[in-house]
Structure 1
Amino acid sequence: MLPSPPPPTPEQRASYRAALAQGVDRFLCAPRTTCPWCDAGRLRHRLHTTDLLQRKPGRFTLDQCLGCGHIFQNPRLNEDGLDFYYRDFYDGYWEERAGETWASLRRAYEERAAFAARHVRPKTWLDVGTGHGHFCAAAADRFPGTVFDGLDRGNGVELAARRGWIDRAHRGLFADLAPTLADAYDMVSMQHYLEHTIDPQRELRAAARVVRPGGHLFIEVPDPECRFGRALGRWWMPWFQPQHLHLMPLANLRRHLEGLGFTVVAQQRCNFNGPVNLLYSTYLRLHNAAPAPDAPWFPTAPSRLRRNARKAVFLGALPLLVAMKAADHLAGLLPSGARVTDAYRLLARRELAGPE
């Protein structure tokens, strides 16, 4: 169980109360009838769920294209919805918790850097969706001669620059900033970024402008073909609703990159943070079965009885959590063809000039 932040202020709680008084249906666009990836019109519902992590109000649906296999949130959050559900997650109320989470992923960052290092030695590297810059700080040890820059829409990218983890901070939307960064970088990375974007194909076109000819694009995203996604249903952490708007099968992403003038030089099915699918799924179930923790989007603070009951749920479940961690370890010993890894990564070289 993650450490609890301090109690919300009355002002924070009042702000959420005002936002929720208008209902949450207003945060959704009209449903699509075609696939946003290939535009085919044959869709099926894949998943119905709620916000299982923050437990903010709302219900969300993932649909799957029967033509290309693309999975996407439908109806999708609009800009107001994105603002509401991202609010206090990576900054604000949960900022310290988010920072601790990203800091705990150093081994995962080092594995990604090692994957890239087998093929490239870039002089300049732009990490898109860099957050607080933890990846760049970790990768600098393996790429001592590389200048790392970061790009994000939040204030974390500026914090990363002040810490010295990146050389330069670009704050804003990647697709909007791409024209000013054209052909500027030997390497662009998008690590668990594309799935959060409204239009991932637009983001890839932006990357084709920013990567120099002969340079490389590194991408890691959740793998919707992971068998745990079906076996665990809505409790599979990488569904991560409502933040994950698109989940792209590996073949789809490869074909699209080739159409943009890239050649995929390496790919790997992998785990986001080691084999943890069963452990994280069990945590989500406990987190939602136990009384809710305190947060500004809940109307009142939990009573002492409810706080103690929540602690008791997790203490009582410790043997189960240990067993799930052991089961994940055993699953991690299976070959890649078993499709039990929850992510994939690829490295692509830009061969042609990017699209205008």
Structure 2
Amino acid sequence: MTAPPGPSAPTPPPVPARSPAAGAGPAHEPRREDCPWCGAHRLRTRLRTGDLRRRTPGRFTVDECRDCGHTFQNPRPTDRDPALHHGVPGPGLPDAPRRHRSAARAVRRHCPEPESWLDVGTGHAAFPAAAREVFPYTSFDGLDPTRRVERARAAERVEEAFVGRLTDPHVRTLLRARYDVVSLFHQLELAPDPRAELRAALHVLRPGGHLLLETTDPRSLFAALLGRWWPSYDQPRRPHLLPPANLRAELEAQGCTVLAVDHRAGHLPHDLAGALGTMLSHALPAPGTPRRATPPRHGPRHALLRAAVPLVAAAGAADHALAPLVRRTPFANAYRVLARKDTSAP
């Protein structure tokens, strides 16, 4: 039986980043010998890969704790490029508005008329735009580390726009206990410290308010089937993947009542198309390749890639056709959690 997660184990100070000009790739923190979630020393290497989508220099290792199942980058890159953790969209999903409305309705069962709602990592505010159809009288605000949220405010998708991260001191101070609902869709896996991200989310939530989370499930059988091509690994931008039991225990430890954990609603039907698309993208010449070394646009490689486009479309169709079955099996790749902050919580 896994022991309840305690405070985050202290992370060793990062080593200075090497200059990109040195050609050695991004620097890394010292490798950990213990789990950053539970502190256990029983680790196993789950994955070794490069950056398959943007070709950031270097190799990345993903380890798993044999005790609690927490999956994490080890060592973690110290490259300060924010694209490592934010702003890199995943495979597009044609049913995204329907998914957003479904998530909003999950909240409505427990909180019929929220006055204020903060969507974290909102980007262009696609979720608030869709959720407003379910909650027409709710004031939706957006928080994002990029300026996209300001364009979303200009487009009237959110009432107020905040540039930054939940853990930024000025954000915590400004938004303390301000919201009835806080939503984080696939933000915990992007955070350098998921526990700190959860604490910050609860800090801006009013007592009795609701926290809506969606995050990747590292136990998905697609991870074993697709290996490094599994879209949800997305190295090096996802330093942490949390099993449902760990997230539930942490929310309860931070003063929440977990109302629902739902794999069927959380599953994203993109595994096959995402893996195939990444393979094809990886086959293209890397950005910055000298023009003289780049194969002709009408060469055999490009002809092969153009011919493979229908295969990606077919894989996407298969993802969606299989989704009603897959989301009820261990192949489900993500899960949704709805929790209520107890009125006695600080």
Give the TM-score normalised by the residue count of structure 1. 0.83
Structure 2 residue runs of 5 or longer lacking an equivalent are 1-17
Alignment-derived partner of residue 123 in structure 2: 131
* Distance in structure 2 (CA, Å) of the matches to 1:41 and 1:113: 40
**Measured at CA, do residues 322 and 134 of structure 1 come closer, stay the same or move farther in structure 2, by a change above 3 Å?**
closer
Distance 1:67 1:170, change over 3 A: same
Q: Which moved more, 1:299-308 or 1:202-211?
A: 299-308
Distance change in 2, residues 1:103/1:354 (3 Å): farther
Q: Distance in 2 between matches of 1:70 and 1:277?
A: 21
Q: Which has the higher helix share?
A: 1
Q: Does 1:53 align with 2:53?
A: yes
* Structure-2 residue corresponding to 1:3: none
Counterpart position of 1:194: 188
| CA apart distance, 1:323 | 4.2
Asked whether the 8 Å contact 1:108–1:273 carries over to 2, the reply is no
Secondary structure, aligned partner of 2:33: coil
Question: Shift of residue 342 of structure 1?
Answer: 1.3
- In the alignment, which residue of structure 2 is the partner of 1:347? 338
Structure 1 342/307 Cα, relative in aligned 2: closer, same or farther at 3 Å? Answer: farther
2:236 partner SS: coil
Residue 208 of structure 2 is aligned with which of 210, 214, 217?
Answer: 214
Give me the whole-angstrom Cα distance separating, in 2, the residues matched to 1:55 and 1:343. 25
Q: Where do residues 56-71 of structure 1 align in structure 2 (5 Å cutoff)?
A: 56-71=56-71
The answer (yes or no) to whether the contact 1:161–1:169 under 8 Å persists in 2 is yes
Contact 2:44/2:63 (<8 A) preserved? yes
Alignment of 1:38-117 (within 5 A): 38-78=38-78, 80-83=79-82, 85=84, 90=88, 101=92, 105-117=96-108
Distance 1:104 1:313 in 2: 29
Equivalences for residues 264-283 of structure 1 within 5 A: 264-270=258-264, 274-283=268-277
Q: C-alpha separation between the residues in 2 aligned to 1:282 and 1:103?
A: 17
Question: What TM-score, normalized by structure 2, do the two folds share?
Answer: 0.85
Measured after TM superposition, the shift of residue 206 of structure 1 is 1.2
AA of the residue aligned to 2:306: L
Whether the aligned pair in 2 keeps the contact of 1:217 and 1:350 (CA below 8 Å) is: yes
**In structure 2, what residue type is equivalent to 1:219?**
L
Q: Deviations over 1:69-103 (max 9, x none)?
A: 0000111122x34436469x55xxxxxxx599589
Q: In structure 2, what is the Cα distance between the partners aligned to 1:218 and 1:311? A: 43
CA distance in 1, matches of 2:312, 2:131: 31
Provide Cα deviations, 1:320-355, integer angstroms capped at 9, x if missing partner: 334433543453232645212211001100114445
1:57–1:219 CA distance, 2 compared to 1 (3 A): same
Mapping for residues 3-42 of structure 1, pairs under 5 Å: 20-42=20-42
Shift of 1:19: 6.5
Correspondent of 1:237 among 210, 231, 246: 231
In structure 2, how many angstroms separate the alpha carbons of the residues matched to 1:349 and 1:285? Answer: 41
1:190-220, CA deviations, whole angstroms, 9 ceiling, x for partnerless residues? 1111100110101111122211111100000
- 2:278 matched to 1:291? no
What is the DSSP-based 3-state SS (H/G/I as helix, E as strand, rest coil) of the residue aligned with 1:31? coil
Q: For residues 309 and 174 of structure 1, do their structure 2 counterparts lie closer, same or farther at Cα, with a shift above 3 Å needed?
A: farther
Aligned to 1:13: none
Shift of 1:151: 0.9
Evaluate the alpha carbon distance shift between residue 325 and residue 315 of structure 1 in structure 2; reply closer, same or farther with a 3 A threshold: same
Superposed CA deviations along residues 89-128 of structure 1, whole A, max 9, x for unmatched, are 55xxxxxxx5995897333323322332333231100111
Matched, 1:300 2:290: yes
Cα-to-partner distance string for 1:231-283 (whole Å, 9 max, x where unaligned): 11011000011100100000100010001110111221147674221121111
Opposite residue 343 of structure 1, the aligned amino acid is A
1:165 to 157, 177, 185: 157
One-letter code aligned to 2:312:
L
Could you say if the C-alpha distance between residues 348 and 307 of structure 1 is closer, same or farther in structure 2, counting changes exceeding 3 Å?
A: farther
The aligned amino acid for 2:173 is P
Aligned residues: 325
| Bigger shift: residues 221-230 or 110-119 | 110-119
Q: Give the secondary-structure state (helix, strand or coil) at the position aligned to 1:141.
A: coil
- The separation in 1 between residues aligned to 2:90 and 2:233, in whole angstroms, is 21
- Unpaired runs of 5+ residues, structure 1, are 1-17, 91-97
Aligned residue in 2 for 1:333: 324
- Following the alignment from structure 2 to structure 1, what is the Cα–Cα distance between the partners of residues 38 and 294? 50
Residue 180 of structure 1: how far off its partner (Å): 2.8
CA contact (8 A) 1:108 1:274 kept: no
Structure 2 residue aligned with 1:9 = none
Give RMSD over aligned pairs: 2.7
